[in-house]
Structure 1
């Protein structure tokens, strides 16, 4: 079976995504965000767009969203998805990294198995301000109205928080759900 590709967008926790997937026995490879889109399309079964500093350093990340593969965006990865699909991203009111209690509105799909509230670790320097057409809101918080979104028809998902870090409660569920989604859509 082809691996899931983790796109390194120069974020400080991208290596933790790979480690968590390895610990879950999910085959994954980290790639640079300048890997040609046709290579990505032909060699993997799903894409995780990792975090990073800015949209300007996202490389081919925007194009990966349109390859017809399941996509999971984490933090900057969410912003790549939203921007590519004509949503809006702008500075958040809280900034920096910290703990946040997220309210889950829809605990199916990528958030299957979660309770109605999740303590997570997130950066809110930038946030999705307008959800792209065709996407639905999955989660929100008191400081950020868009914590998670999904276009389930295209199997594209994004979360503002970092499920790969220890401070996020049961973050592995996001990755297990994404693995299941990629297997169901081979």
Structure 2
């Protein structure tokens, strides 16, 4: 059975990410972001959202474990920041229902959502420039980088929250990530 661990970055929806995976039949657990990397046994990791990019524990080290990683909101920003992309304050601000345009219908994580999908997202902070090796895979009228991917390293990120009911095709994002992890 595929095992995907949810790394808790102290976000309000972390338990929903865990539940979405569990409801799909994935073996999963929530671990704190201070868990030593050598203690993690997983086929994939979800870096949860959270309030503070200065409180990411060992998340940078988790990117070196050689397993697929899905960053959600802050989780995506951590990936970008740690791999020399650029994160900054969003112009839009808080949570909103947003139409996201999928830019790459071949992307393993979000390609199946093309040509667009409705999502629930926070844009207080966002990825401004993707790191080397990444492509921007989704955009919206409020955020230039709604999703990014480096399929060669199996590192993916979405600005939105696929785990909440307001996101139309959120379960499909988790299904796609499970397929990457298998």
Deviation at 1:107, TM superposition (A): 2.5
Q: Residue in 2 aligned with 1:106? A: 104
Q: Residue in 2 aligned with 1:15? A: 15
Provide the aligned C-alpha RMSD in A.
0.9
Write out aligned runs for 1:130-145 (5 A).
Answer: 130-145=129-144
Write out aligned runs for 1:17-96 (5 A).
Answer: 17-40=17-40, 43-96=41-94
> What SS does the aligned partner of 1:57 have?
coil
Deviation at 1:39, TM superposition (A): 1.3
Q: Given that residues 14 and 51 in structure 1 are in contact (C-alpha distance below 8 angstroms), is that contact kept between their aligned partners in structure 2?
A: yes
Q: Given that residues 50 and 76 in structure 1 are in contact (C-alpha distance below 8 angstroms), is that contact kept between their aligned partners in structure 2?
A: yes
Q: Residue in 2 aligned with 1:3? A: 3
Q: Which runs of 5+ in 2 are unaligned?
A: none
Q: Given that residues 112 and 177 in structure 1 are in contact (C-alpha distance below 8 angstroms), is that contact kept between their aligned partners in structure 2?
A: no
In structure 1, how many angstroms separate the alpha carbons of the residues matched to 2:159 and 2:113? Answer: 16
1:59-92 Cα offsets, whole Å, 9 max, x none, are 1011111211100000000001001110000000
In structure 2, how many angstroms separate the alpha carbons of the residues matched to 1:147 and 1:154? Answer: 19
Q: Given that residues 102 and 117 in structure 1 are in contact (C-alpha distance below 8 angstroms), is that contact kept between their aligned partners in structure 2?
A: yes
Mark the CA change 1:55 to 1:151 in structure 2 (over 3 Å): closer, same or farther.
same
Q: Given that residues 75 and 161 in structure 1 are in contact (C-alpha distance below 8 angstroms), is that contact kept between their aligned partners in structure 2?
A: yes
Deviation at 1:150, TM superposition (A): 0.3
Q: Residue in 2 aligned with 1:129? A: 128
Deviation at 1:2, TM superposition (A): 5.5
Aligned residue pairs, count: 181
Q: Given that residues 45 and 70 in structure 2 are in contact (C-alpha distance below 8 angstroms), is that contact kept between their aligned partners in structure 1?
A: yes
> What SS does the aligned partner of 1:78 have?
helix
In structure 2, how many angstroms separate the alpha carbons of the residues matched to 1:114 and 1:172? Answer: 11
Deviates more, 1:153-162 or 1:24-33: 24-33
Q: TM-score, normalised by structure 2?
A: 0.97
